[in-house]
Amino acid sequence: MGEQRGTSRPRARSRAGTWAAVVGTAVLLSAAGCASSGDDGAAHFPTTGAATHASTGSARPTTAEQRAKAEVEATVRAYYAAMDKAIRTGDVTDFNAASTSACVCREFGSAVASVFRTGRTEQAAVDIERLRVVVVHHRVADVDAHVRTSAYRVVHDDGRVERFPAGEDHAVLGLVYVGGRWLVDSVVFLERRDSR
């Protein structure tokens, strides 16, 4: 599968520095299934305790599937919150902790570190427009995400300033359940465009 650009303007590809390492990547592979041998074929939904359903705010989802979906959604919200923190502060610790070491999304952390070695960002922000947990099966999940990035500047120590437009991204995030928690393992961008 190739990256689908839809209504993207050519400028979207030029979003360098902080976002380009993540969103400029051609295609990120979707998560693969992780069923153990001897699996009985039944749906098993790992949980880590009492979860709150993030989209409705209702306490304690009633089924294992609802709990797993709530945990997956909370993980994706934490991933984007960590991305927002990283792009504003240069601290990628939480972002890296929210993803597997195999996730190409980790390139984002490297790009942020590079920017903050020689400068800083101004007015950079990531906001979730909407999330939908598409599927949770065994130890894998997919989430459909619509995210908006603010217009921002990269200010270099030598005085150079780069400006980048606001953007809207539509992506599918693949998650895996590892070590008792959900982690983002892949990100596939379905559509990327600059906001007007």
Structural domains in the chain? 10-27+61-194 (3.10.450.50)
Euclidean distance between CA atoms 196 and 61, whole angstroms: 39
Q: Is 195 exposed, middle or buried (0-12, 13-18, 19+ CB in 10 A)?
A: exposed
Cβ-contact 16, 162 below 8 angstroms: yes
Instruction: Flag the least confident range among 32-36, 41-45, 89-93, 171-175.
Output: 32-36
> What's the average model confidence in pLDDT over 68-95?
97
- Residue 145: both structure tokens together: 């995400």
The pLDDT > 90 percentage for the chain reads: 63
* 178 has a pLDDT exceeding 60: yes
Euclidean distance between CA atoms 179 and 4, whole angstroms: 33
> What's the average model confidence in pLDDT over 70-91?
97
* 157 has a pLDDT exceeding 50: yes
Cβ-contact 12, 193 below 8 angstroms: yes
Q: Rounded to two decimals, what is the model's pTM? A: 0.70
Cβ-contact 157, 49 below 8 angstroms: no
At 34, is the secondary structure helix, strand, or coil? coil
| Closest CA relative to residue 15, chosen from 189, 171, 165 | 165
| Closest CA relative to residue 51, chosen from 42, 43, 61, 41 | 61
